[in-house]
Structure 1
């Protein structure tokens, strides 16, 4: 194996090791070795490198966890890249469908989400969202889309437990305020590949959202949404919004790691 291939293999293993912590907060060296299908000595070398560079730290239990400062810095760099990639695509979409288009991400505690980029409709009558404001994960079309993919692989009891911890507020008469109703709505999002709401969070506002997958399509990194006054919307035209929105989400996802 030449040095280039060897370096690529090490880099790949390092990234895979970091991704293991997205599924489990604390990991032992043996668990890392098993998950990556590498020898225990190789796992020790990998862990030592990540520990020395400040990406993971050793706990009193002798297990390892992510080290917040460096991971947060890396996270902020990725989010900036995400915004830069998405900005021209969002602008093009807003002009094409003549409605407001926004990009949102979930906070690290999986309880709230925020819009981090957007472009308002060129029309005089439009709906605008607040960039940076935090919203409950159970709220609105974007929040429900994030939530659907967060709990996608949970079993029923895990889904019930997760949703039960969320605050289900009755913003309008269309709001979903029971665990069962919200679960059915989330199942439909996963089945359809998009979320559509009308006056569920705010009266007179229609929202349509689609997930943005990473390049490998292994995880949802953000959600792309269109918002409009219900006076602009005809439900028979729903797919005419979903199609360009999905194409835009794919274009963004294919341009980020």
Structure 2
């Protein structure tokens, strides 16, 4: 969404930039680190950190700051009010009970994908992945099955804009880090209407994803299953799990 310049509140934008500078890599920031990550001066970052701490969104020891539980109000409000997670949850639970695997629904947000709904893992202990699979977890779009499914739904112009000047970090020896190779992979995903990503985001982890489309044919999310314990043959995934994902996507289409 674009707005007129007079309607844009710079202070809110800077405050949100500071808040968004906290992530799994940097869970505690001082004013200098926050300034670097948010693109602000150290003095401005410090004022925003102090204000956010005063409002209860951050905690501090006087030098470093970290997120306080109050920030969960944002995600809690989204999950409680958004129709999409509530519509998908029963299907995710059914798939997990049927297969004893872990399923998630994911949306694209900038350079990352965000988990908005997930099942438990039935019948087997849930392995904790490096980046986590909890609600709200943010994962790099270029290296994940869901990210590629969602990027494949973009128009050519939107995909070009997404790729322009973007660094594609190497997360494992298998991660695609060249824009040309990623573009080719996305084109294949668009043709197949599904994506398998093997050990590109984390070693020992494989994922299969399909698009979730509404009745107008617009992709609004991606549905995936995440498998740990080492790669499985692609033919087995396509035979055993892909039909279940496609069936689930058809099943929820009227709800989206």
Q: TM-score, normalised by structure 2?
A: 0.63
Q: Give the number of the structure whose alpha-carbon radius of gyration is greater.
A: 1
Q: What does residue 104 of structure 2 align with?
A: 102
2:151 touches 2:159 (CA, 8 Å); kept in 1?
no
Q: Give the Å deviation of 1:204.
A: 0.3
Shift of 1:135: 2.4
Match of 1:163 in 2: 163
In structure 1, list runs of 5 or more residues that go unmatched.
Answer: 1-24, 27-56, 62-74
Pair 1:138 & 2:137 matched = no
CA distance in 2 between partners of 1:60 and 1:90 (Å):
42
CA-to-aligned-CA distance 1:75-102 (integer Å, 9 cap, x gap):
9599721111111110001111221000
- Measure, in 1, the Cα distance between the counterparts of 2:187 and 2:113: 20
Aligned partner of 2:49 in structure 1 is: none
1:220 aligns with 219
Q: Where does 1:158-197 land on structure 2 (aligned, <5 Å)?
A: 159-197=159-197
Following the alignment from structure 1 to structure 2, what is the Cα–Cα distance between the partners of residues 254 and 106?
21
Aligned counterparts of 2:79 and 2:125: Cα–Cα separation in 1:
35
The alignment's C-alpha RMSD in Å is 2.7
C-alpha displacement at 1:172, in angstroms?
0.6
In structure 2, what is the equivalent of residue 118 of structure 1?
118
User: Contact 1:120/1:127 (CA < 8 Å) preserved in 2?
Assistant: no
Equivalent pair of 2:171/2:201 in contact (CA under 8 Å): yes
Deviation at 1:146, TM superposition (A): 1.2
Q: Are the structure 2 counterparts of residues 198 and 77 from structure 1 closer, same or farther at C-alpha, using a change threshold of 3 Å?
A: closer
**Structure 2: 5+ residue stretches without partners:** 7-76
| C-alpha distance in 2 between matches for 1:203 and 1:249 | 28
CA distance in 2, matches of 1:210, 1:220: 10
Residue 147 of structure 1 pairs with residue 146 of structure 2: no
Corresponding residue SS for 2:224 = strand
